[in-house]
């Protein structure tokens, strides 16, 4: 019989080689999967911010639905503010009794709030003497030095301004007898008419100046 051990040894060696190759392949696959190299596409997913993270997302800085931009809100707020100034139609003007002194004639010109709301006056009233036809007599009164302040008038309250001029009998100024004193509240254009019953006033000459003071609370000194 021939020697059969040689073919058997070759078959055993071949089987051992196949087993060893399979073992090496298995080890290589395990090494690749356990390394730090990410799988394709995984790195891109992990570097992007997820919703709710610290990075800004579209809409974070946009105004809420229905809210107005800040400049529009400011304009709306400004338009909503009420004008607290007293208007001519809300006031009544009157002239108090003369207060003579040191060659002067002094009159309190009083503005009274006849409206149903609280309003305010600030500064000097306008004043002008006119005759029966409405023609102005003399120049506009000058503003006496002073520190204007806001006078708040609740319904029925008054503010006053002093109207003063040198006595014509002493100054020798040219005079006229007005029919009406026009009184214009501060920042208004329409005057109030007050019948003038206090006689002649200076309308010309070196000593013809008339002055008014800033408004103060009350009806006079």
One digit per residue, the tens of pLDDT, for the chain of length 221 reads 455 455 445 544 444 444 444 444 444 444 443 334 344 333 333 333 333 333 333 333 333 333 333 343 343 333 333 459 999 999 999 999 998 888 899 999 999 999 999 999 999 999 999 999 999 999 999 999 999 999 999 999 999 999 999 988 888 889 999 999 999 999 999 999 999 999 999 998 766 789 999 999 999 98
Residues facing 205 on adjacent strands = none
Q: Tokens 């070196």 belong to which residue?
A: 206
pLDDT number for residue 221? 86
The span from the CA of 127 to the CA of 39, in Å, is: 93
Alpha helices in 88-164 (DSSP H): none
- The string of DSSP letters for 37-104 reads PPPTTHHHHHHSPPTTSSS--TTSSSPPTTPPPHHHHHHHHHHHS---BPPGGGEEEEE-----BTTE
CA distances from residue 165 to 5, 61, 100, 142 in whole angstroms, order as listed = 152, 67, 10, 10
CA distances from residue 112 to 12, 148, 153 in whole angstroms, order as listed = 128, 18, 8
- CB proximity list for 89: less than 8 A, separation 6 or greater: 190
CA distances from residue 189 to 59, 80, 132, 137, 192 in whole angstroms, order as listed = 52, 24, 21, 19, 10
Cβ atoms of 126 and 136 within 8 Å: the answer is no
Measured between alpha carbons, how far apart are the two ends of the chain, in Å? Answer: 156
Alpha helices in 87-160 (DSSP H): none
Torsion angle of the four alpha carbons 137, 139, 143, 145, in this order, in degrees rounded to the nearest 10: -120
Percent of the chain past pLDDT 70, that is, above it, reads 62
User: pLDDT by residue (tens digit) across 52-98?
Assistant: 333 333 333 333 333 333 343 343 333 333 459 999 999 999 999 99
Task: Give exposure, 19-52, as e/b (b: 16+ Cβ within 10 Å).
Answer: eeeeeeeeeeeeeeeeeeeeeeeeeeeeeeeeee
User: pLDDT by residue (tens digit) across 191-203?
Assistant: 999 999 999 999 9
């Amino acid at each position: 019989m021939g020697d059969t051990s040689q073919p058997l040894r070759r078959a055993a060696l071949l089987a051992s080689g196949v087993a060893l190759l399979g073992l090496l392949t298995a080890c290589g696959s395990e090494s690749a999967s356990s390394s730090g190299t990410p799988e394709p596409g995984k790195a891109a997913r992990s570097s992007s911010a997820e919703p709710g993270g610290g990075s800004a997302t579209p809409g974070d800085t946009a105004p809420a639905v229905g809210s107005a931009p800040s400049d529009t809100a400011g304009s709306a707020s400004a338009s909503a503010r009420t004008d607290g100034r007293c208007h001519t139609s809300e006031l009544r003007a009157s002239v108090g009794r003369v207060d003579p002194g040191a060659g002067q004639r002094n009159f309190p010109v009083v503005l009274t709030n006849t409206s149903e709301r609280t309003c305010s006056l600030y500064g000097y009233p306008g004043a002008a003497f006119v005759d029966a036809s409405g023609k102005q007599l003399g120049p506009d009164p000058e503003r006496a030095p002073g520190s204007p302040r806001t006078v708040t008038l609740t319904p029925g309250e008054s503010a006053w301004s002093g109207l003063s001029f040198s006595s014509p009998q002493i100054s020798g100024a040219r005079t006229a007898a007005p029919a009406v004193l026009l009184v214009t509240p501060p920042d208004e254009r329409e005057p109030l008419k007050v019948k003038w019953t206090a006689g002649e006033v200076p309308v010309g000459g070196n000593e013809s100046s008339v002055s008014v003071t800033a408004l103060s609370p009350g009806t006079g000194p």
